[in-house]
Amino acid sequence: MELKRYRHLDRLESLLTRYPVVAILGARQVGKTPLARQLAARAHAPTTFFDLENPDDLAQLDEPMLALQDLRGIVVLDEIQRRPELFPVLRVLADRRDVPATFLLLGSAAPDLLRQSSESLAGRIHYHTLSGFNLDETGTGSLD
């Protein structure tokens, strides 16, 4: 059963209208990827997913500018901490006059990731921290 995390979905939708890059940070297994998929299902724009643990997706990003520059809608980069060299490319794409895509980055909240992204994407990125599930998301029946 996939839980709908409406509070987070609403917040992320709002952030994606205001920032060219939004990062969902959190520990492993807190639901970052399912949340991104739920967001994509609600979006009124095309969504492209790249899983940076998938060799096929990694191969597509061997030339990141070529792979990303023509995409429209929401571009999800899952496990972004695996490819920190993408941050400067994302800065260039976020600075385009007509920004046809917004970027949703998913990754662990490692200090190195935060430092690298904040240096390259200063003023262009907003961080959304995703913690474990709350009772308002799971229901009181799951308290035990």
CATH number, domain of 126, equals 3.40.50.300
Domain that holds residue 111: 6-131
Q: How confident is the model at residue 35 (pLDDT cuts 50, 70, 90)?
A: very high
10, amino acid identity: D
Asked if residue 84 belongs to a domain, the reply is yes
Q: How confident is the model at residue 111 (pLDDT cuts 50, 70, 90)?
A: low
134, amino acid identity: N
Give me the number of domains the chain comprises: 1
Q: How confident is the model at residue 144 (pLDDT cuts 50, 70, 90)?
A: low
Q: Can you give the pLDDT at residue 8? A: 84
116-120 mean pLDDT? 71
Asked if residue 1 belongs to a domain, the reply is no
Q: Mean pLDDT of all residues in the chain?
A: 85
Asked if residue 34 belongs to a domain, the reply is yes
Q: How confident is the model at residue 1 (pLDDT cuts 50, 70, 90)?
A: very low
C-alpha distances (whole Å) from 109 to each of 71, 90, 93, 130 are 26, 18, 23, 10
75-86 mean pLDDT? 92
20-24, 75-79, 98-102: segment of lowest average pLDDT: 98-102
> Facing residues of 74 across strands?
47, 102
Asked if residue 143 belongs to a domain, the reply is no
For the chain, give the percent of residues with pLDDT over 90. Answer: 54
Q: How confident is the model at residue 135 (pLDDT cuts 50, 70, 90)?
A: very low
In degrees, rounded to 5, the angle at the alpha carbon of residue 118 between the alpha carbons of residues 84 and 46 is 65
